Amino acid sequence: MTSSDQDIPVLTKSQADCLMVLRNPGFSVGRIAVAAKLDLRKAEAAVRKLTELGFAEQGDSRLWLVTTQGETYSFQTTPDRRERRGRPPKPSAQLMLDLPDRPIGGPAYVRPGLSAQRLLDLLDRPMSGRALARELGFSRERVRQLLLRLHAQGRIAFADPDHPSWLIKRADDESPVLFRDETRVLSALPLERAADVAGLTRATKLARGEVDRILEKLIDGGWVEALGGLNGAQAFRIAAAGLEHPQYVHTKRRLPPPHLPVRSDRVRTVLQTIADAEALRIRDVKHLTKIPQKSINALMQYLKRKRLVAKAGDEFDAPYFLTEQGRATLAEMTLRLAA
């Protein structure tokens, strides 16, 4: 439609919003709907109209682009025409499930339909579109349509506007949301043991510096705990809050276990004996483990060089205790023995 006196195109608000979105290159109709805060039906109708006016076209990648004419033309804007819905069908009719009920004289606020309300009721925490579809028993495309409608009404927010179904939360939900790479690191942490940065870097295929930055954020949020690891490297363990985070995804893929600084059963026996007593002199370790004096002396010096044990004082016969690295090594050895 054009104005008769100045030949300036007149677009509805929906069409104008979509055109402004398209002035950034390469959008799907769904992405246009998210950016313009429209439901899918309105976005599709607006794109069709813009195509008829020569303002938009679909490229080889099937994404919508603005034309040269659409990029440069000025236009006037008019409010969207309010649709007449007529007499509603019977409550049993499927189409009625998702038609919002408009209050008389209030075009701005609409109540969600029954299916949309069911979806909102499920969003007591951030959820993915796939999880919502499974809980509701709807197809993923049906859920996508409902999500775009609720987003247009300002009721929900998308964690990633480029992928609306990835994670959704209520607009008033202040739950902290993790980005995709942060979710990958959190979900890569094994349940049974701590992991080091090298293992997490291999598992997530992210740069080491990026993994370091993400771990720092996860620790600040209370979702991950830092502790002493093997070979002097810091290790990281998922915390209880991390396990309960709505974006944590438990996977059966196991992170490769870290390399142990020691492996023998005799070493594990000595470490366990010292751990049980909290601290022991060498002669007591020898008595409890039945290891000959000459061998236990050499073994304790070896463990001291590996920084798995340390003396509790400067005296010649001061007892030995496990260092933080020694405790982490014993825990990992015990875990592997039980596996």
Which residues have CB under 8 Å from 306's CB, separation 6+? 261, 262
| DSSP state letter for 148 | H
User: What is the pTM for the complete model shown?
Assistant: 0.53
Which listed CATH number (3.40.50.20, 1.10.10.10, 3.40.50.1220, 3.90.480.20) goes with 265-338? 1.10.10.10
Is residue 157 helix, strand or coil? strand
Residue with tokens 């998210």: 34
Cβ-Cβ contacts under 8 Å for 29 (sequence gap 6 or more): 40, 43, 44, 47, 64
Task: Give the fold, CATH level 3, of 113-170.
Answer: Arc Repressor Mutant, subunit A (1.10.10)
Write the DSSP assignment of 161-202 as a string of letters.
TTSTTS-EEETT-------HHHHHHHHHS-SSS-EEHHHHHH
Same fold, 180-244 and 265-338: yes
Looking at domain 180-244, which of 2.40.480.10, 3.40.50.1010, 1.10.10.10, 3.50.50.60 is its CATH number?
1.10.10.10
Nearest to 248 by CA among 200, 184, 187: 187
Give SS3 for 7: coil
**What's residue 269's pLDDT?**
92
Rg of the chain on CA atoms, in Å: 31
pLDDT score of 3: 45
For domain 10-78, the CATH architecture is Orthogonal Bundle (1.10)
Find where tokens 């607009």 sit. 171
Domain range list for the chain:
10-78, 113-170, 180-244, 265-338
Per-residue model confidence as pLDDT tens for the chain (339 residues)? 444 445 667 888 888 878 877 777 667 777 778 777 787 788 888 888 888 888 888 877 677 778 888 787 777 777 776 654 444 444 433 333 333 433 333 344 567 889 999 999 999 888 889 999 999 999 999 998 899 889 888 899 988 877 888 889 998 988 888 888 999 999 998 887 778 888 899 888 999 999 999 999 999 999 999 887 666 668 888 999 998 888 888 776 666 667 778 888 899 999 999 999 999 999 999 999 999 998 999 999 999 998 899 999 888 889 999 998 888 888 878 877 775
Instruction: Give the distance from CA 230 to its chain's centroid.
Output: 28
- Quickly list DSSP for 33-93: HHHHT--HHHHHHHHHHHHHTTSEEE-TTS-EEE-HHHHH---EEEPPPPPP--S---TT-
Look up residue 9 and give its DSSP letter.
B
Dihedral sign from CA coordinates of 237, 239, 245, 249:
positive
Torsions phi, psi of 165, nearest 5? -80, -5
pLDDT for 25: 63
